[in-house]
Amino acid sequence: MSARSKARKRALDVLFAADVRGETPEQSLEAESLRAAARPERASSWPYAREIVQGVIDHAEEIDGLIAGHSTSWPIERMPAVDRGILRIAIWEARWNPDVPVGVAIDEAVELAKELSTDDSPKFVNGLLTAVVKEAGQPS
């Protein structure tokens, strides 16, 4: 697994923890920052994980608006928390991180959904992300 893939998974852990515990993403990010400082063996994936979470925080309203606007069957609050986190990460990468090709952001999100969510989630994640990038006129 690449360092960026590990970072995405760590970022998902932070976002998921905030969602499930009813914390703000900022609180969850701070707690994980403290854990990361105590675990130097995991240092390689932490800077990008922190960048992802901060990006999701900075663009939260727009990201959630894109999710809500493209999810015809599930209101955002009824989606599995892991799917919300995966979508938030992928949308941030696709829209605000020029270092990540859109196709890579989508592929990584679908892989996380396959690994960590329901059997229906990969198709849902792929469809929603494809709609978001099409609307933005980005190549997938």
pLDDT per residue of the chain (140 residues) written in tens, 0 to 9: 788 999 999 999 999 999 999 999 999 999 988 888 787 777 778 899 999 999 999 999 999 999 999 998 889 999 999 999 999 999 999 999 999 999 999 999 999 999 999 999 999 999 999 999 988 776 66
C-alpha gyration radius of the chain: 14
In angstroms, the CA 97 to CA 66 distance is 16
Decide if 83 is inside a domain: yes
Decide if 140 is inside a domain: no
For helices 25-38 and 3-21, what crossing angle results, to 10°?
130
Number of domains in the chain: 1
pTM of the complete model = 0.93
Q: What CATH code is carried by the domain that includes residue 40?
A: 1.10.940.10
Decide if 78 is inside a domain: yes
Phi, psi for 73 (deg, rounded to 5) = -105, -20
Amino acid residing at 117: S
Decide if 84 is inside a domain: yes
CA dihedral 91, 95, 98, 102 (to 10 degrees): 60
